């Protein structure tokens, strides 16, 4: 992903999530296609949280030399934060705001910031840079947007309709 596209892409994804959350009923948003697959609301909450975590990681990468980021415990957050019980209207606003905050943070970077090094610990510790962090943040939002759309349509993400 080109660095200059990160802010607009994140903003757009946040707005599309918001619109989708506002256009579906709470029942549809809370429905899991299987017990081991998140609901649309859970995916939206995850995107909100991962976007904010990535923003925090960006700031750490800008002030620390080779920061190492702990796991965000994504699966545990679903239950601990009661994602599926959250108000969809509030989540709609939050996911759009989180995307805007991350977009602004990445949009404010200077050229030399993109090569700052960091240690990303998922799934195993690996050296990365801020450019990768930005692209990965966009990837996460895009990927989970697809998951969200699948589950609100009654499908399991990554599975065809066969």
Summarize pLDDT for 43-65 with one digit per residue, the tens.
999 999 999 999 999 999 999 99
pLDDT band at 122 (very low <50, low <70, confident <90, very high): confident
Alpha carbon distances (Å) from 142 to 80, 111, 116, 124, 125: 24, 25, 24, 22, 23
Per-residue pLDDT of 62-111, as tens digits, reads: 999 989 998 899 999 999 999 999 999 999 999 999 999 999 999 999 99
Q: Which residues pair with 118 in a beta bridge?
A: 128
Task: Report the candidate in 101, 132, 88 with the shortest Cα–Cα distance to residue 14.
Answer: 101
Whether 162 is covered by a domain: the verdict is no
**Residue 157 domain flag:** no
In a domain, residue 159? The reply is no
Whichever domain contains 56, its CATH number is 1.20.120.450
Instruction: List, for residues 131-150, the tens digit of each pLDDT value.
Output: 999 999 999 999 999 999 99
Residues in the chain: 162
| Integer-rounded Cα radius of gyration of the chain | 16
> Residue 71 carries which DSSP code?
P
Write down the pLDDT at residue 108: 96
| Coil, strand or helix at 116 | coil
Beta carbons within 8 Å of 143's beta carbon, 6+ residues apart: none
Across all residues in the chain, what is the average pLDDT? Answer: 95
In a domain, 7, yes or no: yes
CB atoms inside a 10 Å sphere around CB 8:
11
Q: Which range marks the domain in which residue 128 is found? A: 3-152
What's the total number of domains in the chain? 1
Confidence tier at 161 by pLDDT (50, 70, 90): very low
CA-CA distance, 42 to 30, in Å (whole number)? 8
pLDDT at 160 over 70: no
The answer to whether position 160 is within a domain reads no
């Amino acid at each position: 992903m080109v660095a200059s596209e990160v802010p607009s892409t994140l903003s757009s994804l946040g707005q599309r999530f918001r619109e989708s959350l506002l256009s579906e009923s709470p029942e549809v948003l809370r429905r899991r296609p299987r017990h081991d697959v998140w609901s649309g609301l859970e995916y939206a909450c995850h995107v909100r949280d991962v976007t904010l975590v990535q923003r925090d990681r960006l700031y750490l990468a800008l002030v620390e030399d080779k920061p190492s980021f702990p796991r965000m415990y994504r699966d545990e957050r679903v239950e601990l934060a009661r994602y599926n019980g959250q108000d969809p209207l509030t989540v709609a606003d939050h996911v759009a705001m989180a995307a805007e905050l991350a977009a602004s943070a990445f949009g404010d970077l200077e050229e030399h910031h993109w090569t700052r090094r960091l240690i990303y610990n998922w799934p195993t510790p690996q050296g990365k840079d801020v450019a990768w962090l930005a692209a990965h943040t966009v990837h996460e939002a895009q990927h989970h947007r697809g998951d969200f759309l699948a589950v609100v349509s009654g499908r399991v993400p990554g599975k065809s309709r066969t």
